[in-house]
A and B are shown apart, each in its own frame.
Chain A
């Protein structure tokens, strides 16, 4: 079965750039979506199809996808960006989530 690998945690200084990776075999050939989940809340879509932002998501959030790694980039990180982030793809008719990355803003 297809697996997505995310780092358990990423730390970033306030105002700096955070990068959260999502690794998978030839993930560059798939559409990758990213969700933000704050404690006690449902996930929220922040990036769809690799690099597209839904309405209402700040431009500080961006994404890329190539080869075996997709990356969610959060520029000028704010305290409110502290959350868990999950990547998601479809593979062989099965939906797969990454294990999630906890972003800490220092």
Chain B
């Protein structure tokens, strides 16, 4: 059973960089066949896709966030990470990591989510 777990600071100051890591267990990021994704949900709102990375390091980002987003992967630790720069209060959200199947492009496993608040 694949499990994903987000970790990182729950509070980030405005203008700083939000950094989160997703640790994958029960399966290898390097096995192929999947994209490893970040999705966020503003309080009381819907889901917003941020971007994904393949184990090889290739990435694809939501155009609306592309200028501020970097997703990286560490296959030796079976982890992938999110950095979102120049954050504002509008970036306050629950951040989820998830596994997306390459063939049919749906998310079959999700982390539990972590709330990140942007505030001074």
Contacts and interface: CB of A to CB of B under 8 A. Distances in A.
Contact of A42 (B46, B106, B110): B110
B113 A42 contact: yes
Contacts of B108: 45, 54
Interface residues on A, range: 20 to 34
B63 interface: yes
B106 A99 contact: no
Given A31-B105, A42-B112, A95-B49, 17 more contacts: A33-B105, A43-B47, A43-B107, A43-B110, A45-B106, A54-B108, A86-B47, A88-B106, A88-B107, A90-B105, A94-B62, A94-B63, A95-B62, A95-B105, A97-B47, A97-B48, A97-B49
Interface of B: 46-49, 60, 62-63, 96, 104-108, 110-113
Interface of A: 31, 33, 35, 41-45, 48-49, 54, 86, 88, 90, 93-100
15 contacts: A31-B105, A31-B106, A42-B96, A42-B110, A42-B112, A42-B113, A45-B106, A54-B108, A88-B47, A88-B106, A95-B62, A95-B105, A96-B49, A97-B46, A98-B46
